[in-house]
Amino acid sequence: MQALGKHLLVELHGCDPDALKSIDLIREAMVTAAKIANATIIGVSFHEFSPFGISGVVVIAESHLSIHTWPEYRYAAVDIFTCGDQLKPEVAVDYITLQLKSKNVSVVEVRRGLIGKNVGRLPHKIGSSEEKAHADKELSLAY
C-alpha cells in the first residue's frame, strides 16, 4: 500500500517548563522546524492560554505542524503531517525536541491516505490535463 501522507504523533516529556510557556520560543521553534524540514509555509497561528499553555499551528502547503503545551506537566504534544517526497519531518522533530529540551521523546508514525498497491506513483500536485488523466486512470485501477 502506498500512502499519500506521513503523520508523526510526537510526545515530548520532561521539557523545560519555561520554554513551554514562551509563545515566542514555541512559534520560532515550529516555524524554523517547518523551514528546515523543507516545507512551504502558508500560515502561522498561535494562542497563549491563561494562566499558561500554548496551542499553535504552522500551515504548510504539504499539510501542517501543530503543538499543544502543558508547562505544569512539562509536556508537549506535537503533530507533523506531511505529504510529498521532499519533506523531512524527522528533522523537524529533532529541532523541536532540542528547543524544548525534552528528556523523553516518543514518535508514532501513521501512514495517511492509503492507496492500493496496484496504483502507480501519484503526483501530489497535478498540473497538466495529462497528469490528471494519468492520476484518474491509476485511481480507477485501485478502486
Domain CATH for 104: 3.60.90.10
**C-alpha cell recorded at residue 73:** 506537566
Q: Is 83 a catalytic residue?
A: yes
The pLDDT confidence band at residue 128, using thresholds 50, 70 and 90, is low
5 in Cβ contact with 91 (< 8 Å): no
Catalytic residue selected from 7, 22, 83, 102:
83
Mean pLDDT for all residues in the chain: 88
70 lies in some domain: yes
Per-residue pLDDT, 113: 87
Structural domain span for residue 101: 2-117
Catalytic residue selected from 22, 63, 102, 124:
63
118 versus 80: the higher-pLDDT residue is 80
86 lies in some domain: yes
Query: Which alpha helices (DSSP H) does 22-109 contain, by range?
Result: 23-36, 89-100
52 lies in some domain: yes
The single-letter DSSP state of residue 73 is G
- The dihedral over CA atoms of 114, 119, 121, 122, expressed in degrees to the nearest 10, equals -70
138 lies in some domain: no
- Number of separate domains in the chain: 1
Q: Is 63 a catalytic residue?
A: yes
Q: Is 15 a catalytic residue?
A: no
Of 38, 92, 42, the C-alpha closest to 67 is 92
